[in-house]
Structure 1
Amino acid sequence: MQREELARLLEGGLSLEAIGRRVGRHPSTVSYWLGKHGLTANGAPKYGRESAIDIADLRQLLDRGLAVTEIAQRLESTPSRIRRAMKKAGLASRQERNRRLVRAALARGDRVAALVCLHHGPCDHVLEGRGSYRCMRCRSERVAEHRRRLKRMLVAQAGGCCVVCGYDGHPAAFDFHHLDPSQKSFELSLRGVTRSARALRAEARKCVLLCARCHAEVEAGVTSLNVSVLA
């Protein structure tokens, strides 16, 4: 087979199989002549020998709690190759590690277990009433977001701005000031937001919305509220 002909077919993007069909030869024969003429088949890097996976790197990524797909991206490989390397090295995935740790923790009766969270990696998990472990950081973040959502709801219900200066910025900068302290059932602070939404709405109706600065001035007696207008 002539070098010029093979080079022309390769430039046309043809694979070994396509060239073989074009010239009536087996792909292995085409490959032989390519090598003889110093040419490289299209797609050769794709189908060539892949570099070995570093087991130390693989173990480190597994210890950090990464999933197989994430590890494959980090090591520029494929999930199937990562799984084969794990099996060969006797390494367990995050899910399998967690299952083993959970079984052991439940057998010991541990209320807190060191597991691997999908979002936070290795961290403490607490045993909940339903009988499963939950990441303490995930639970804390969810509670905090729930409280922020309730605060946004209450601020919007109260008009969304300070009744003294008109500030209408971030919800965290607002306080609820009870017009009649004797009617106060509980503080509408961050801790108070642990109540039900119904109870919070009822308590918020006893208050006016103030920004933190105006609230401090009202409490200090520097600024007064026109209760008749607010009512």
Structure 2
Amino acid sequence: MSRIINFNQAKIAHSFEKFSRDGVITDDILENINSNFHFESDIRDVLVDYSEKDQKRFFKILLDIKEAVKQMTSEENMDIRFSLEDEYFNLLQNLETNDTKYKIPSILIKYRKDINPIRALKFELQEIMSMYTIEDDYHIWLVKEFKSEDKINEIVFRVKNDIIKIVQMQKKFKRAKEKYSYFVLPMSYYHCIEMEADMVSWIKTLQEFLVWSTQDDIKNRYD
């Protein structure tokens, strides 16, 4: 007959097992394991449905967790994290696509204050291309303003430059992860991945708009 394990105990045991497999310090490990378990007696008191052999194994994993957290929060690791975060925020402040020349008030007024102007432009161009007819002055102005191949190519060039910088930033985060024990990739690393994918979609939309705007019926209508 198999044992019936209390759900909460099974959840805690799963956290121990997961760390044993991948060595990753998650929020769950920090909040529910590292903060609540300190001694072997803590393991015995909480994981009462598990055998003595399992309890001893979990305690050994707990010691590994304590060492990992110690290294993760060491002065060296924190210095590296702060340095990378500073570089990341500096990157965001100096994106070529965030240049004031791309900040068109009539576009940006429709979006949140800190949106990248090319991201906002992408949404506007997508909306225009989905329209059956374009009648209002604002959308007609946008078509005339951005149907220039030179202008679109110049923006695409700037987007590609930003992508290169974002990919380089990702690599710096990953190198820190490889070099320093238990360095945890911050949310800014994952934001870089999201930005890269988003910017690739900007290029796609800009190039689609260029093709769309050079169709004979569109070109004749807005020349």
TM over 0.5: no
- TM-score with structure 1 length normalisation? 0.30
Q: Which has the higher strand share?
A: 1
Using CA pairs under 8 Å that are at least 6 residues apart, name the structure with larger relative contact order, 1 or 2. 2
- Computing the radius of gyration from Cα coordinates, the structure with the larger value is 1
TM-score w.r.t. structure 2 length? 0.31
